[in-house]
Structure 1
Amino acid sequence: MSSLTWSERGKTCVRAHRLAAIVRKEFIQIRRDPPSLVISLVMPVLMLLLFGYAVTTDVNNISLAVLDQDHQQPGRELVSRLEQTGYFQPVCYVEDFAELEGMLDGGKAKAALIIPGGYAKGIRRGEQSQVQFLVDGSDPLVARTALSAAEITGKVYSQEMVIKQVKAAGGQVPEGPGVDMRTRAYYNPGLESLKFNVPGLIGLVLQNITIMLTAFALVRERERGTLEQLMVTPVQGAELMVGKLIPYIIIAFADVALVLAVGTWWFDVPIRGNIFLLLGLAFLFLVFALGVGIMFSTVAKTQLQAMQMAMMFILPSVLLSGFIFPRESMPDVIRYLGYLIPLTYFLEILRGIMLKGVGLAFLWKDIIPLTVFGLGVVALASKRFRKQIE
């Protein structure tokens, strides 16, 4: 192969210098855009941590309420067996059926065990003693796991008692001692995933559409220079902000109505609670989403930055709010982070009203933090917005 001529070597050096100049220019451009640089570096790590800890189909730490009407050792032993499976924690004892149903309605318990009076006496006589196991079917993944664990525990416990009875009877097998575990799923008897997912989709759609439309619209106005043109008009800052947000409120509520209609008529998801309470609390959540959108619009300089910020906010909301994955199975640190996401509370409200039919008596603990988040974000975003237009 012949060596390169001086002319060809010169052209190669020129191309290398041009390439180096382009690379240097791109680094300078990245350095002048710190938000995008931070997002591009933080997001992969954040994604890895969230997916590694939050994305799991393993269900454990299912809260269990126990109504023990017998108060004997065999009943306590059955509860102990359920605890030892590792699926049911913590266990809370209640005094009556009304308290037990209240814990299921309020989401404090995902499963419940009822041990009737005379249970221990039937066990000692070698008779088949019945207990009832109830499960909150609004989350099919948790419900299926709880039912399966309870049924298997009941069968194993029954077999062990059969062996004890055989030994006590001198080798003769009695006529059927053991536990007859009667199971029942509340709120979603068929354990259909759609009935769990559709209410969650309503909250997710309401949040994402509102945040993205609001943030993108204001940034787009700034990029085109039309926002500055509006600032020199007699329109006040508060009037400008409210006037620009009203269309997005209408769009968001139209999305809510559409998803509710499709979920109710097409997917047969019931709305067992008060529809007006649902819409009122949806507006409360909408206030928070609008505030987040305004906040992003005051920080982002381009639509790309606004999209990146929105995605960084949306992804943790999907993973940590209980939209898909049960929060009970997450590590404590990750689960506590979910309390900082307003969608966590709104999903409890949606599923509580639609699937359980509960009202303010059970939802107030979710309404209070949602209100605090909404007012705080809107106040901070409005302050930043006013500073930019003044």
Structure 2
Amino acid sequence: MNATRTLATTRRVLRQLGHDRRTVALILGVPLVMIMLLYWVFDGDKRTFDSIGASLLGIFPLITMFLVTSIATLRERTSGTLERLLAMPLGKGDLILGYALAFGALAVVQAALATGLAVWFLDLGFAGSPWLLLVVALLDALLGTALGLFVSAFAASEFQAVQFLPAVIFPQLLLCGLFAPRDSMQPVLEAISDVLPMSYAVDAMNEVLASDQVTGAFLRDIAVVGGSAALVLALGAVTLRRRTA
């Protein structure tokens, strides 16, 4: 990989996103709206909002970044942009990392806005530091970006890219421990949840919710989420195709 080419790709993607205000609004605004709706749903029951809000603070950015990244990358391929770029001295790793950095920059803003809204405006209750919430939310958004880049290689149309949402994200959402403790699930479901990165994202948020210390479990959880994002990005570089057949 070449740093100059990677950064050039990042700048190009950011310029394109800057001209697509609806996509930027989707990335930055939807998680905020969802958190506000959740707050109003549990209006008058702050304990429930505190217990669920921290977990969803990481899940909403992951889902949004997955959806936007998968469609945006697929659009680049179907329009022939990827084919033209890869005909130049630009490696697949440079391309994938450039996209990851561009969407990752938006993920930083998205995670900061969502965390700030939940902590300072909606008074989300938790024992740990708000900076730890921000770290987990950011890693979740980056994981969503990596998953979106990866699955875009297997979609032939934007409709198919959207179809990957229930296939890739919904099982993780159901098994991550948000609706029921993972250790209370059937053994086979618990075993599946143990290999899903969203489970560790929720566990990390719960650690911040319950403890005012940086625990070993928290460090393990964020390491799994970050490592999963790096692994999926590497797989995305391997499976990237120049164009859609």
Show the counterpart of 1:202: 57
1:230 to 66, 71, 85: 85
Structure-2 change in CA distance of 1:247 and 1:378 (3 Å): closer
The structure that is helix-richer by fraction is: 2
Give the CA RMSD over aligned residues. 2.5
What is the aligned partner in structure 2 of residue 242 from structure 1? 97
Instruction: Give the distance between the partners of 1:219 and 1:213, measured in 2 at CA.
Output: 10
Structure 2: which amino acid aligns with 1:356?
S
CA–CA distance in 2 between the matches of 1:327 and 1:191?
23
- Does the Cα contact within 8 Å between 2:126 and 2:210 map onto a contact in 1? yes
> Could you tell me how far apart the structure 2 residues matched to 1:238 and 1:362 are?
32
> What is the match of residue 3 of structure 2?
none
Residue 195 (structure 1) shift: 0.2
Query: What is the percent sequence identity of the aligned residues?
Result: 25
Amino acid in the other structure paired with 1:257: A
Return the structure number with greater strand share: 1
Counterpart of 1:244 in structure 2: which amino acid?
Y
1:271, CA displacement in angstroms? 4.6
Does residue 153 of structure 2 align to residue 298 of structure 1? yes
TM-score, scaled relative to structure 2: 0.70
Q: Where do residues 312-323 of structure 1 align in structure 2 (5 Å cutoff)? A: 312-323=167-178
TM superposition shift of 1:377: 2.0
Structure-1 separation of matches of 2:142 and 2:202: 16
How far off is 1:245 after superposition? 2.7
- Please say which structure displays the higher CA radius of gyration: 1
Amino acid at match of 2:208: I
Amino acid across the alignment from 2:224: P
Aligned residues: 199
Separation of aligned partners in 2, 1:372 and 1:247? 19
Letter in 2 for 1:374: A
Rounded Cα–Cα distance in structure 2 between residues aligned with 1:257 and 1:276: 9
Paired with 2:101 and 2:226, the residues of 1 have a C-alpha distance of 20
1:374 and 2:229 correspond: yes
CA distance in 1, matches of 2:133, 2:122: 19
Greater RCO, CA 8 A, separation 6+: 2
Which residue identity lines up with residue 325 of structure 1 in the other structure?
A: A
When the two structures are superposed, what TM-score results if normalisation uses the length of structure 1? 0.46
Unpaired stretches in structure 1, ≥5 consecutive residues: 1-189
Q: Does 1:360 align with 2:215?
A: yes
With over 3 angstroms needed to count, the CA separation of the structure-2 counterparts of 1:251 and 1:229, relative to structure 1, is same
Instruction: Could you tell me which runs of 5 or more consecutive residues in structure 2 were left unpaired when the two chains were aligned.
Output: 1-44
> Residues 311 and 326 of structure 1: is their aligned pair in 2 closer, same or farther, counting only changes over 3 Å?
same
Q: Deviations over 1:9-29 (max 9, x none)?
A: xxxxxxxxxxxxxxxxxxxxx
Distance in 2 between residues matched to 1:328 and 1:273, nearest whole Å = 24
